[in-house]
Amino acid sequence: MIRLVLILTAVMIALPASAVFAQESDITLRDASLALRSQLRVSAGTEDWEAAIRANEAALALQPGHPGLLNNRLVLARLSGSTVGMLDALEAIVGHGIAFDLSGLEQADELRALDAERFVAIEARLGQTAAPVGEARLIAEPPLRDAL
């Protein structure tokens, strides 16, 4: 309950007064999330990483599993210098079944040195996530050429 109150308070602060008090429009969770992402960009632009992280976490509470927000968690952890936060972000990405290429992560060796067992588990789960599952087959062909 307290978490919901904090999220709604953050949304009210982030949204312009006209949007909060407009009688004709209802604020959706998506609108609230977009407002929080806007606040995230402002905070990141001033290098206030803690405020950016809070805004991102509030947006994630509204849209759990959102790939962009999960990626933001990783980027913000890197920018704030939190290697533990980076590991947490990678585990969240994997936990939501999102594929991620670790080869582009400059801090991979640092993360492996920090907690080898945890990093190897993340690598293994990412390998499983990226692997194809099942099979695809053609079930219909549109009757008109270039119909789609």
* pLDDT at position 116 over 90: yes
pLDDT tens digits for 55-98? Answer: 999 999 999 999 999 999 999 999 999 999 999 999 999 999 99
What pLDDT score was predicted for residue 135?
A: 84
**DSSP reduced 3-state for 136:** coil
Model pLDDT, residue 5: 44
Distance separating alpha carbons of residues 44 and 147, to the nearest angstrom: 45
Q: Which of 47, 50, 46, 89 is nearest to 68 (CA)?
A: 89
- Is residue 130 very low, low, confident or very high in pLDDT (cuts 50, 70, 90)? confident
Residue 12 confidence (pLDDT):
56
Instruction: Indicate the residue type of 113.
Output: A
- pLDDT for 2: 55
pLDDT value of residue 18: 47
Q: What is the tens place of the pLDDT at every residue in 9-67?
A: 555 555 554 444 444 568 888 899 999 999 999 999 999 999 999 999 999 999 999 99
pTM, two decimals, is 0.72
Residue 139's pLDDT is 82
Rounded to 5°, angle at Cα 15 from 86 and 2? 60
Which comes out higher in pLDDT, residue 144 or 127? 127
Question: CB-hemisphere CA count at 13 Å for 64?
Answer: 4
Residue 132 has pLDDT above 90, yes or no: no
Long-range contacts of 71-80, Cβ-Cβ distance < 8 Å, separation of 24 or more: 72/40, 76/44, 76/49, 76/52, 77/53, 78/107, 79/44, 79/47, 79/49, 80/49, 80/50, 80/53
